[in-house]
Structure 1
Amino acid sequence: MSTNSDCRPDKHPLLVDFLLQYPKCDEDVAERAFLVYLDLTEVKGWWSTEMTYSPQLDRPYILGQHKRFVQRQAVLPVGVEECVSSQQMRQFFSHVLVDEEPIKSITLAVSELDSTVVYYKLSSGLLPPESPDMVVTHQRDKDARILQKKQFIAECVKKAMQRHDSN
């Protein structure tokens, strides 16, 4: 099996541009952040994702929307081998900006070198739970999506059976 070195993430034009724009950023840290960026963009389907850099934290982070018309969120990639102190977490909330404003919550993207990523949402202070009406609305939306998928699959099976029967 041949490998093409141009397919490596550190050769991706977006990562190269990022490193040119932020030359003080450590390349290994940027590459790990870029893998999280790719996971959010290509696997999770986030919208308007961008990698940016915090000189105060000396690390990159990602901004984006998990759905098209929701507020942008910040995702901070950290390695599974890193120890994050409560003081560092306070710094995250001070120095990670969304639309030039400090954040009230951040998602830590804890990543392994094999590109496995686990996401943890952190909040500054306590957040009140969703209202019962919102919980019901979310469940109703989820149930509707599941029903729609089931109907689509049933229709596909029906068409396949019809094609099979006609042969």
Structure 2
Amino acid sequence: MNAHPSFDLLSPYLTKYPQAGGSLFQVYNDIKYSQQWEQIELVELESCNRVGIKGRKPGVETSLYVVPCSLPESISFGWLSSAFASFPSSSIYLAITSEDSSVVYYKISQGIVKPPM
């Protein structure tokens, strides 16, 4: 992991939030190298004890917000509220990682949202 190109950027956060470090490393690399997002920024979510990711998909003008977590973690409404409070958006993506290196992204919106037709 130390030889990976993203290690130097992520290293301070991996040390500060070790329980969420694996998820951050996995999701950041998926967004940057697989999905090739642009203008990626790391955002400390101290109330959630982790780092979130802000960025844009290629060809999209609006920023998206991602909160990495692992499959065994317990997530509460309070935790999600804290994540929402850290981002200026009515929706975030919860990036859930598993031990087999897969990542599943769930779009979570505040309040009741009518599905698109």
Q: Provide TM-score, normalisation by structure 1.
A: 0.60
- Give the C-alpha shift of residue 28 in structure 1: 5.0
Percent sequence identity over aligned pairs: 27
User: In structure 2, the residue corresponding to 1:61 is in which secondary structure?
Assistant: strand
Letter paired with 1:37 = Y
User: In structure 2, the residue corresponding to 1:110 is in which secondary structure?
Assistant: strand
Q: Is residue 53 of structure 2 the alignment partner of residue 62 of structure 1?
A: yes
1:32 matched residue in structure 2: 23
Give me the whole-angstrom Cα distance separating, in 1, the residues matched to 2:19 and 2:48.
Answer: 15
| Contact kept in structure 2, 1:25 and 1:60, CA below 8 Å | no
Letter paired with 2:8 = V
Q: Provide TM-score, normalisation by structure 2.
A: 0.82
Gaps of 5+ in 1: 1-7, 133-167
2:96 matched residue in structure 1: 110
Structure with higher Rg: it is: 1
RMSD: 2.3
| Contact kept in structure 2, 1:63 and 1:74, CA below 8 Å | yes
The 3 A distance-change label for structure 1 pair 62 and 33 is: same
Greater relative contact order (CA < 8 Å, ≥ 6 in sequence): 2
| Contact kept in structure 2, 1:51 and 1:63, CA below 8 Å | yes
Give me the whole-angstrom Cα distance separating, in 2, the residues matched to 1:51 and 1:115.
Answer: 21
2:111 matched residue in structure 1: 125
- After TM superposition, what 4+ stretches of structure 1 lie above 6 angstroms from structure 2? none
The 3 A distance-change label for structure 1 pair 11 and 32 is: farther
**Match for 2:8 among 10, 16, 28?**
16
CA offsets 1:117-165 (integer angstroms, 9 cap, x no match)? 11100000122444x6xxxxxxxxxxxxxxxxxxxxxxxxxxxxxxxxx
Gaps of 5+ in 2: none
Letter paired with 1:109 = A
| Contact kept in structure 1, 2:14 and 2:21, CA below 8 Å | no
Hey, which of these two has a bigger chunk of strand by percent? 2
- Give the C-alpha shift of residue 116 in structure 1: 0.8
2:64 matched residue in structure 1: 73
